[in-house]
Amino acid sequence: MKLGGFKVSKELLIFTCVRPQYIYMVFFTDTDVVKQLEKSFPLYADNFEDWAEQGIGGAQQAVWVALAQEGIGASLQHYNPLIDEMIAEEFDLPNNWKLRAQMPFGSIEAPASPKDFIEDKERFRVKFN
């Protein structure tokens, strides 16, 4: 099967829940960039992995919001590391690209299921002097 011009195995499509979606987006961290930043800024070296995760989380949220504004449904999946090798081989990706998340998106087939949330007063603390 072809997906965006790439030949994709049936197993990969089934495992990653692509079948009803139009497009399947994957998010990666370029670990070479993170390592270079650690070397360039040694004072902050311990923070760059966390900052990379925070940055990619912001990117994922921005993409999801942009899709939602256009009436396109999406979900954020984390099948890695189970599919890391399969994705890397299927798309001939460099070794320094670390798979972080997958976002299938397309038509909204059903409304989202309700979720239980922890009350804000239990999740947040605000203290003023």
Share of the chain above pLDDT 90, in %: 44
Residue at 42 is within a domain = yes
Sign, CA torsion 116/73/106/78: negative
Which range among 43-47, 61-65, 94-98, 111-115 shows the weakest confidence by mean pLDDT? 111-115
Residue at 22 is within a domain = yes
Domain harbouring 11, CATH code: 3.40.109.10
Residue at 128 is within a domain = no
Residue at 8 is within a domain = yes
> Is the pLDDT reported for residue 114 higher than 80?
yes
Residue at 9 is within a domain = yes
Helix (H, G, I), strand (E, B) or coil at 66: helix
Count of domains for the chain:
1
Per-residue pLDDT band for 12 (boundaries 50, 70, 90) equals low
Separation of alpha carbons 29 and 37, rounded Å: 13
pLDDT digits (tens, 9 = 90+) for 13-31: 544 544 555 678 889 999 9
Separation of alpha carbons 117 and 129, rounded Å: 29
Residue at 129 is within a domain = no
Residue at 70 is within a domain = yes
Which range among 16-20, 116-120, 124-128 shows the weakest confidence by mean pLDDT? 16-20
Domain containing 104: what range? 2-123
For residues 96 and 19, the model is more confident at 96
Per-residue pLDDT band for 1 (boundaries 50, 70, 90) equals very low
Reported pTM = 0.73
Residue at 55 is within a domain = yes
